[in-house]
Amino acid sequence: MKPKVKAPQNNKTLSILNKYNLNSICYSSKCPNINECFNRGVATFMILGNICTRNCKFCNVTSSIPKPINKNEPTNLQKAIKELNLKYVVITSPDRDDLEDYGANHYVECTKNLDIKVELLTPDFKGDIKSLEKIATSNAYKLAHNIETTKNLHKYLKPKSDYFLSLDVLNFYSNYKLTKSSLIVGFGETLDDIKNTFKDLLKANVKQLTISQYLRPSKKHYPVYKYYTEDEFLYLKNLALDMGFLAVEAGNLIRSSYYADKL
């Protein structure tokens, strides 16, 4: 059965985001956990604009030619975090393959002056070693990159990305910081596909994992092949823990940044 999603409601927060011209994935993705997270002092910001240079078949982020970087974004982000009294922040972005460093330096600029714990949820930066080093040696507390789907489905669902490159990025990050990834289910993957993805992530030294249900953004997007039950999510969570992950969150309405401060 398809889970019901409540619309985000927090006018004060939205007004502050608009005031500083900031994007929050919490709002743009209509995350069902937004009120709970903001009340706990946690939020996920999307830097580098809201247009992606890739075209994943399940994602609701617009794919087109991005606008230039907002040079004031690091300062505005710092001001908004202070006004919102946030205690833990996740910073993510769309893919910016149009930029020379894929946006890595902007990530660093947005992170370096923050005096709270920051988790960076990054693209793969096309595997560019200089970009990855900038992220790995940044002020971030935790580094994340989402595998999102199993190996068999990856090339079809994410035609401009690479499953093994994602694993390489996570493995590189693990040499510097605590690492985390996310798997979305409901695309038609088998249990063996999921187990093999768990194994691959563990080999890449990923310590934390979220497992979530795919919810189709529109009829133009990839269809949902299965809605997992809560019992099935509990099984996957326990399986992942038994296989070696240190922390796992799994459920219909779990998102990659859910309880990011608690994992």
Q: What is the DSSP letter of 116?
A: S
State the CB neighbour count (10 A cutoff) for residue 30: 14
Segments forming the whole domain that contains residue 158 = 11-251
Q: Is residue 3 part of a domain?
A: no
From the list 230, 197, 169, 219, the residue with the least C-alpha distance to 58 is: 219
Residue 35 has pLDDT above 90, yes or no: no
Structure tokens at 195: 């187990």
pLDDT score, position 198:
98
Residue 260 has pLDDT above 70, yes or no: no
User: What average pLDDT score do residues 57-73 get?
Assistant: 90
Q: pTM score, two decimals? A: 0.90
| Burial (Cβ within 10 Å: 0-12, 13-18, ≥19) of residue 11 | exposed
Alpha-carbon distance values, 159 to 55, 134, 198, 232 (Å)? 7, 26, 21, 29
Bridge partner list, 180: 144, 208
Q: Is residue 47 part of a domain?
A: yes
Domain count, the chain: 1
* Separation between Cα atoms, residue 83 and residue 61, nearest integer Å: 27
Q: Is residue 193 part of a domain?
A: yes
| Residue ranges in the chain assigned as alpha helix (H) | 11-19, 25-28, 34-39, 73-84, 104-111, 129-136, 151-157, 163-174, 191-203, 230-243
pLDDT score, position 84:
86
Q: Is residue 58 part of a domain?
A: yes
Q: Higher model confidence: residue 221 or residue 38?
A: 221
Give me the chain's average pLDDT, please.
Answer: 89
Which amino acid does the sequence have at 171?
A: N
Q: Is residue 259 part of a domain?
A: no
Q: Is residue 4 part of a domain?
A: no
Give per-residue pLDDT as tens, 213-225.
Answer: 999 888 999 999 9
* Separation between Cα atoms, residue 48 and residue 53, nearest integer Å: 11
Residue with tokens 């910001």: 45
Find the helix packing angle between 191-203 and 230-243, rounded to 10°: 40
State the CB neighbour count (10 A cutoff) for residue 97: 16
**pLDDT band of 261, cuts 50, 70, 90:** low
pLDDT score, position 258:
58
pLDDT score, position 254:
83
Give per-residue pLDDT as tens, 162-201.
Answer: 999 999 999 999 999 999 999 999 999 999 999 999 999 9
Asked if 120 and 107 count as a contact pair (C-beta separation under 8 A), the reply is yes
Residue 137 has pLDDT above 90, yes or no: yes
Q: How open is the CA angle 210-7-67, to the nearest 5 degrees?
A: 75
Q: Is residue 147 part of a domain?
A: yes
Q: Is residue 1 part of a domain?
A: no
Residue 124 has pLDDT above 90, yes or no: yes
* Separation between Cα atoms, residue 115 and residue 134, nearest integer Å: 19
* Separation between Cα atoms, residue 200 and residue 167, nearest integer Å: 7
CATH number for the domain harbouring residue 223? 3.20.20.70
Residue 118 has pLDDT above 90, yes or no: yes
